[in-house]
Structure formats: C-alpha cells, structure tokens
Chain A
Amino acid sequence: MPDDDIAEQISPAAAEGALAYLTEMSPDLRGAAILARDGGVLAGSGDAERWRDDAAALFEIADRAGGEPVEQVHVGTEQGEVFALRHAGLAAIAVTERFALSSLTFFDLRSILRDLAAGGDGRAGEARPDAA
C-alpha cells in the first residue's frame, strides 16, 4: 500500500495514543507531535498550528541543505534537543532535554510511526492487555 494511503488512514485517536505512549516511555521528552504527510498535525502536545508551521520549516530547510528529502534530523542546542523523523508517509518531532540518547529517541519515534502505519495505536512495544 502506498505511503500516502497509509498516512490518510491514521485516526487522530490512534495518533494521540501513540503520543501518550511516547511521553510515557521518554522521561527526557518535553513535547512532541505526529504529523501526516501533508504536514497536518495528527497529535501534538500544545499548539498544533505552531507544531505544523515550525516542523514544516525545519523539514524544508533540512531538505534544501542536503539536496534531497531528509529522513532524520537531530539538532542539539544549549536549550534542548530536537529530533525529527519521517517514516511511512508520517513524521514525528520530539523535543527533549539536553543529552537525551539519540539512538533511543529515534528508535522510539520510528517504532510508533511504524506501528501507526501498520494500523496499530503506536504501542507496538507494549504488551497488549487483550493478548492471550
């Protein structure tokens, strides 16, 4: 199934669940958002419009800088760290405290996007209560 079709099928409730799971898993997380391919915010902590505009700006700059669409962005500043990831027609942005482990953060972001794209609720790594 093409990525566009997948991204269009994600319900905001599933995205909200995935975001809650991400927040639960990541003690260093300050805020995050999950975006559809068109840049619309499926779930976000706080101001959805700001997440949409500022994430679009970050991806646009990153794409232009390398001359091809970027897959992952990691910016570390004195004020905190920004992680952005595109996967399966979706995108996730996370802002963490300084010195968050980048490999784990990217792993968590990729994991929730992969699960959402597969029709799950982003909690692929969690034992499901209904699983016998």
Chain B
Amino acid sequence: MPPKPHRVLLDRVSGYADEAAAYMRRRRAARKPFARLYYAGGRAEDHATDSSAGGELFVAAGRLIEVAGKGS
C-alpha cells in the first residue's frame, strides 16, 4: 500500500531539516577564526591569524569583544 500523501511530505520536510542541522554542525566545527577587510569599490582582503596584520586585528577585535561583554 502506498504511503499517505501527508506522510511523504512530512518525511521530506524532516529530511531537509536533518540535512540543514548536519550542515550547521559541520560549519560550526570547521569554521576557523578569520579577519576580513572590505574596501570601497568592492575589494576584499583576508588576513590569516599568523600574519602580522591578522594578529593585530585579532587583538583589537578581542578588546572590542571584552568591551561589549562589559556593556551587556
């Protein structure tokens, strides 16, 4: 006997939700710290954590995170 139509729909929605949850879990696990700068005209630059500018940007960002923490 074929499944009822609403069962098919529910299974499909649950499948998509499971896929999305797994994608988010992988993204959280894989995402590394980054520093990205955008300039007028659309130019963008990434700075690695071990570069000189990257290191300074992370220190400055860390201070701002600390200020925001104090503010909340």
- Which residue numbers of A lie inside 8 Å of B, CB to CB? 30-32, 44-47, 50-51, 54-55, 57-58, 61-62, 64-66, 68-80, 82, 93, 95, 98-99
A65 touches B64 (CB 8 A): no
- Which residue numbers of B lie inside 8 Å of A, CB to CB? 27-28, 31, 33-40, 43, 45, 47, 53, 56-58, 60-65, 67-72
A61 to B45, CA, bound (A): 13
Q: Is the interface of B mostly helix, strand, loop or mixed?
A: helix
How many contacts A-B (CB < 8 Å)? 114
Beyond the given pairs A30-B72, A75-B33, A75-B60, 4 more chain A to chain B contacts, judged by CB atoms under 8 angstroms and listed by A's residue number, are A44-B71, A58-B64, A74-B38, A82-B61
